[in-house]
Amino acid sequence: MGLANLLDPEYLIATFGLIGIVAIVFAESGLFFGFFLPGDSLLFTAGVLAAADKLNFALLLPLVFVAAVAGDQVGYLFGSRAGAALYRRPDSRFFRKEHLEKAHAFYVRRGPSTIVLARFIPFIRTFAPIVAGAARMPYRTFVAFNVIGGFLWAVGVTSAGFALGNAIPDIDKYLLPIIGVIVFVSILPMIVEARRHRKAKRAEAGDPR
């Protein structure tokens, strides 16, 4: 199975079914090597397929919610134990320090609400709970925001796919362009943030552009 297959929600669901969906949501939520997995598009596609009776929606929703919350919990515990050592870890195929640093910067600006907001931003989503653990966010605070974020993301995105699947007949035929839109929307905040960062750098350097 190549990288292209790992990024294809339809392939992943067809191959691994409900267990695969749960495992991927868990991994992408808080295991640093899961940052490249297709969380948003996977959940949305699962909702669409559930509307077509290809997945059990009543079982899907609670399972993805629990997986999302549990993944973040593991990420937090890993961050609290690894701490500063994680920032010294060299880059590898399954780890990019730049993603960790971006998540840390996001955490500094947003505080505890990062745990909710980061759910909807690829890469940041995976590393936010790790950063929260490393930064020693109070555990009760983390759990509260984790549950809220996990519900809004896992249940919300899956339910959106289910609702659209019920509203538009044969929508599964148009999944590819829909997934493309979802991916674009999910990375849009990162694009905006990158542009803002470049503008701030130019301003510091005295470049008026």
30-42 per-position pLDDT tens digit: 887 777 777 888 9
pLDDT tens track, the chain, 209 positions: 555 566 678 788 888 899 999 999 999 888 877 777 778 889 999 999 999 898 999 999 999 999 999 999 999 999 888 776 776 777 766 666 776 777 777 777 777 888 898 898 878 888 889 888 888 888 999 999 999 999 999 999 999 999 998 998 777 676 767 777 776 766 666 666 667 757 766 666 666 55
Residue 135 DSSP code = T
Cα 106 to the center of its chain, rounded Å: 14
What's residue 127's pLDDT? 85
What's residue 187's pLDDT? 65
Two tokens at 130? 């790790």
Q: Cβ of 189: how many Cβ atoms within 10 Å? A: 16
Two tokens at 155? 């249940």
What is this structure's pTM? 0.79
Instruction: Tell the burial category of 99 from Cβ atoms under 10 Å away from its Cβ (0-12, 13-18, 19+).
Output: buried
- The C-alpha atoms of residue 147 and residue 50 are separated, in whole angstroms, by 23
- Picking from 154, 156, 159, the residue whose alpha carbon sits closest to that of residue 48 is 159
Using an 8 Å Cβ cutoff, are 41 and 179 in contact? Answer: yes
- The C-alpha atoms of residue 28 and residue 26 are separated, in whole angstroms, by 6
What's residue 93's pLDDT? 67
